[in-house]
Chains A and B, each alone.
Chain A
Amino acid sequence: MKPGFLAKNPSVMWFLLILAIFTLGVTFLSHAYGPGVISTSMVKTLGKTLCLCLIAIAMDLVWGYTGILSLGHFAFFGLGGYMIGMWLMYERTRDIVLSSAGSFPMTPQEVNDAIGTQIFGVVGGSELPAIWTFAGNLPMQLLFVVLVPGLLALIFGWLAFRSRVTGVYLSILTQAMTLALSLYLFQNESGLRGNNGLSGLQNIPGVSAGQDQLSVWFLWASAVALGLGYIAAAFIVSGKFGSVIRGIRDDEARVRFLGYSVEGYKLFVFTLTAVIAAIAGALYYPQAGIINPGEMAPIASIYLAVWVAIGGRGRLYGAVMGAAFVSIVSSWFTGGRVPDIPLGFYTIQWVDWWQVLLGLAFVLVTLLAPKGLSGIVDLLEGIRSPDRHGDPLGPDQGSLQQKEAQE
C-alpha cells in the first residue's frame, strides 16, 4: 500500500543506470583510461553536456513543474562559474608568481600585488578588487558558488513574487535581470575583468594530472552532480510539495485558497533552482576553460527554455533528453564536421544555418509534438494524453496543456 520512493519514480533507476553506463563507457574509451577512441575535447564536451542537463533539470523544476517561465537561470549558472573561476585563476596565478620569483623571498603583500598585476593587467589595473578578498580560499569560494546566486535569486524572487508578477511579465523581468548582470560584468570596473572574463580555468591548481585525466574526473564530478540533482528533483516533485507546485502551475489562486503561501513556494523553488544552476555552472566552466559575460547574455537562458521544451517539460527525463540532444547535435553542427550542402546558387553552411534549424525544430515541436522527445518514452510505455477537447489543465498561463498531460 505504501509505495517507496523508487516505486513512485521508476525513471530514477533508469536514469541512474543510463548515466552510469554512459560515464563508464566514456571513461574506458577516453585517452586517459582507455584506447582513446573518444578524444579529450570530446570528453570535455560530454562533461559539459552533463552540466547543461543539470541546469535543464533546474529549469524543468521552475518552469515545467511550477509554471514560472524564468528566462534568467543562465545568470545563476554564470555566477556559479565566476565564483569557482576566481579561485582557479587566483591560485594558478599565485603559483606562477611564486615559481617565477624563484628563491627571492616575497612578503604576502608583494605576492598579492603581483597576482593583481597579473590578473588585472589586461584591463589596465593592478589592484585586486574587494570581491577577490577570499579568492585564495577554496572553501569560501565554494560557499560563494551557492550563496551569491542563491542570495540574488532570493532577493529578486522576493521582490518579483511579492508583487504578484506572473506570466510574460515575470519572464521579461528575469530577462532584464540577466541582461543587467551581463552588462554590469562587461564593465572593467565590475572587478571580474570585463569582457575578457576569467580564463585558464581548465588548469586545476595543485593537481599535476594532465588534461586527459582531468577531463575524465570532471566528467565523473558532473555525472555525480547530475545524478544527485535528478534524485533530489524527483524527491521534490513526487511528494506533497510536488502536488503544491504543480497546483501553482495550473491554478495558483486555488492553491492560495487552500492556505498555501504561493509566493513562498515560488521563492523556494526559484532560489533552489538558482542554486542548482550555480552548481552546474561551477562544474561547467572548469571544463570550458573560460567564462565571460557573454555566457550570461539573455539568449543563453532562452536556449535553456528551448531545450526543456524540445525535451518535454513537466518530466525530469524530458528536460535531460532535451538538453543532451540539442547540445550534442549543436556541437556536431557547429563543430564543422557536417558537410555543407551546395545548392548551386547558395551553399548551406551548417555553422550558420544550425540556429535556423534549431528555431524551426522548436516551432515544430511546439506545434506538432508538445511532449517533445519524452513523447518517445510515452510511445514505448503506452502512455497516452487525455482527450480534453483541447482544454488545458488549469486557467493559468503556465498550466499544463492537454497534449503534455498523461492520462
Chain B
Amino acid sequence: MSDHVIGAQPGNAQLEVSGISVTFDGFRAINNLSFAIGPAELRAVIGPNGAGKTTFMDIVTGKTRPDEGRVLWGETHQNLLKMNEAQIARAGIGRKFQKPTVFEDQSVTDNLMMALKANRSPFSVLVWKAGAKDRARVEEIAAQVGLADQLPRKAGELSHGQKQWLEIGMLLAQEPRLLLVDEPAAGMTLAEREQTTALLVDLAKTRAVVVVEHDMEFVRRLNCKVTVLHEGSVLAEGTLDHVTADQRVIEVYLGR
C-alpha cells in the first residue's frame, strides 16, 4: 500500500506549510518544516516533548511568526503570515487547546453563541440578536456534544470533561475548515475518548482536522495518516504502522 494516496497532493492542499523555521533565543524550535493537508483529511501529529508540535500550531494560528518559510491557506493560497490571530480564525482555522479554555463566568449558551459563525465586527455584534435559527443551532451543537441539559449553567461549573466538550462544541459552532486539536483525549474517560474519536473522524469527512496527540492508542483508533515531528522538522510521515516501523522513529520516540 502506498502511503501517499491518503496525503494531500501539492496544489489542492487546504493548508500548505513550506520550509518554516523559528528560533527562540538561539533554540531552533522549528527547523525547515513542511506540511500539507487536504480539504477533507484527518491527520495525527505525534512527537516527543519539544518536537515543535505546539509551536507549529502557534505559527498556523498566527500566535508566533516564523523567521522564514511560507504558510498558504485555501484554494486562493492566502498568505497566513500576513494575518493576525483573529483574521486567521475568521478565515476558517479553529483551535482546540490542550487545557480546556472556555469562558468560565458565562453560561454554556453564551459560550456557544459567541463562537457561532457570524459577523465579528463590534458594530454588528452590538446590535446582534439571537434569532430562532441561532438558538436552534446552539441547541443542536449542545446535543451533539452532550451538553443539551447544561445550557443555562455557567461554564465554570462544568466538569473537566464537559469543558472539553464545550470547547469542541464552540469549535463546531465556528464552522472552521481546518481544525487544530491539541491532545483532545487528555483528561477524558475511556467512553469519552471513543466518542471523541468518532466525532473527529466524522468531522474530517467535510474538513481538514489536525490532531496533536501523545496517546498512541488514541492515534491508532483515529486510523489516519501520521506525521512524526522531531527537533522541529518532519521525521516520518505515513500510516501509523509505517511510521512505527521506521528505525529513526523508534529511536527518538517509541524506543525511549
A394 in contact with B86 given A239-B128, A258-B114 (CB within 8 Å): no
Looking across the interface, which residue of chain A has its beta carbon closest to that of B92? A259
B180 to chain A, nearest CB (A): 10
B170 within 8 A of A: yes
The answer to whether B105 touches A250 (Cβ under 8 A) is yes
The answer to whether B103 touches A265 (Cβ under 8 A) is no
B11 to chain A, nearest CB (A): 27
Cα distance, A261 to B125, chains bound together (Å): 12
Cα distance, A264 to B90, chains bound together (Å): 14
Tell me the residues in window 77-119 of chain B with beta carbons closer than 8 Å to chain A beta carbons: 84-87, 89-90, 94-95, 97, 101, 103-106, 110, 113-115
The answer to whether A236 touches B86 (Cβ under 8 A) is no
The answer to whether B105 touches A256 (Cβ under 8 A) is no
A83 to chain B, nearest CB (A): 26
A192 to chain B, nearest CB (A): 33
Q: Render A245-277 as a binary contact track against B, CB cut-off 8 A, 1 for contact.
A: 011001101101111111011001000000000
The answer to whether B103 touches A246 (Cβ under 8 A) is yes
Tell me the residues in window 22-54 of chain A with beta carbons closer than 8 Å to chain B beta carbons: none
The answer to whether A256 touches B106 (Cβ under 8 A) is no
A contact residues around B154 at 8 Å (CB): 386, 407
B contact residues around A264 at 8 Å (CB): 121-122
A240 in contact with B128 given A257-B95, A259-B174 (CB within 8 Å): yes
Looking across the interface, which residue of chain A has its beta carbon closest to that of B155? A393
The answer to whether A257 touches B126 (Cβ under 8 A) is no
The answer to whether B90 touches A259 (Cβ under 8 A) is yes
User: When the two chains form the complex, which single residue of B89, B105, B129, B135 contacts A257, counting CB atoms closer than 8 Å?
Assistant: B89
The answer to whether B104 touches A256 (Cβ under 8 A) is no
User: When the two chains form the complex, which single residue of A251, A259, A386, A405 contacts B89, counting CB atoms closer than 8 Å?
Assistant: A259
Cα distance, A24 to B90, chains bound together (Å): 51
A355 within 8 A of B: no
The answer to whether A251 touches B114 (Cβ under 8 A) is no
Looking across the interface, which residue of chain B has its beta carbon closest to that of A314? B105
A12 within 8 A of B: no
The answer to whether B106 touches A246 (Cβ under 8 A) is yes
User: When the two chains form the complex, which single residue of B85, B95, B97, B105 contacts A405, counting CB atoms closer than 8 Å?
Assistant: B105
A332 within 8 A of B: no
A400 within 8 A of B: yes
A243 in contact with B122 given A254-B103, A256-B85 (CB within 8 Å): no
Cα distance, A241 to B113, chains bound together (Å): 11
B187 within 8 A of A: no
A contact residues around B84 at 8 Å (CB): 256, 261
Looking across the interface, which residue of chain B has its beta carbon closest to that of A251? B101
The answer to whether B157 touches A243 (Cβ under 8 A) is no
A contact residues around B106 at 8 Å (CB): 243, 246-247
Cα distance, A197 to B110, chains bound together (Å): 48
A contact residues around B125 at 8 Å (CB): 239-241, 244, 260
Tell me the residues in window 357-407 of chain A with beta carbons closer than 8 Å to chain B beta carbons: 386, 388, 393-394, 400, 405, 407
Cα distance, A405 to B90, chains bound together (Å): 30
Cα distance, A265 to B124, chains bound together (Å): 12
B contact residues around A393 at 8 Å (CB): 103-105, 156
User: When the two chains form the complex, which single residue of B87, B105, B128, B174 contacts A258, counting CB atoms closer than 8 Å?
Assistant: B174
The answer to whether B114 touches A250 (Cβ under 8 A) is no
A343 to chain B, nearest CB (A): 46
Cα distance, A405 to B97, chains bound together (Å): 24
B183 to chain A, nearest CB (A): 16
Q: Render B115-143 as a binary contact track against A, CB cut-off 8 A, 1 for contact.
A: 10000111001101110000100000000
Cα distance, A388 to B157, chains bound together (Å): 9
A385 to chain B, nearest CB (A): 11
B41 to chain A, nearest CB (A): 22
Q: Render B182-202 as a binary contact track against A, CB cut-off 8 A, 1 for contact.
A: 000000000000000000000
Task: Point out which of B61, B103, B106, B156 has the most chain A C-beta atoms below 10 A from its C-beta.
Answer: B103
Cα distance, A400 to B103, chains bound together (Å): 11
The answer to whether A257 touches B103 (Cβ under 8 A) is no
A contact residues around B94 at 8 Å (CB): 257
The answer to whether B122 touches A386 (Cβ under 8 A) is no
Closest 4 CB pairs of A and B: A259-B89, A259-B90, A256-B85, A268-B122
Pick 8 A–B contacts, CB within 8 A, sort by A. A239-B128, A240-B113, A240-B130, A247-B114, A259-B86, A264-B121, A393-B104, A407-B157
